Amino acid sequence: MSGVSARKVLVLNGPNLGRLGSREPDVYGSTSYAGLVKECTELGDRLGFAVEVRETNDEGEIIRWLHEAADGRIPVVINPGAFTHYSYGMRDAAAQRTAPLIEVHISNPYAREEFRHTSVIAPVASGTVAGFGIGSYRLALRALAEELGG
């Protein structure tokens, strides 16, 4: 994309996602968090995005990042982790979005424990991609490119 500035995209990750590769590989796969970052930034580059991948175990930090995205009209791919099921503060921050926001899950929440079947984020997201391992992020970035007309 020479001469053209890439559109910024935030890929936000919630609790325990920094432990990918060692955390329950039978559920979350063997790709490390560093591998996830590499895959997202490389695909983002091919799609014309300047992808910034972030991870935190702090609910307040994700809320601040969502405010930053809303204020800057920055598209978001978000894996809220366990916050998916109960963080109304995060839901309210996501509802303020001014650009597409796609919820992502590595596993299929509906194939797991019942408490994982409810997402407070999904009703305010542009869409949700789940159950395709790390590929869920790739699918979300491609969907975002389509949503943005790229």
Ordered domains of the chain (ranges, CATH) = 7-147 (3.40.50.9100)
pLDDT at 21: 61
Q: Residue 16 annotated as binding?
A: no
- Catalytic residues, by residue number, are 28, 105
Q: Residue 85 annotated as binding?
A: yes
pLDDT at 3: 45
Q: Residue 79 annotated as binding?
A: yes
pLDDT at 1: 46
Mean pLDDT, consecutive 10-residue stretches, the chain (150 aa), reads 74 82 57 88 97 96 98 97 89 97 88 75 96 94 91
Q: Residue 58 annotated as binding?
A: no
**Three-state DSSP string of 76-93:** EEEECHHHHHCCHHHHHH
What does pTM read for this prediction? 0.87
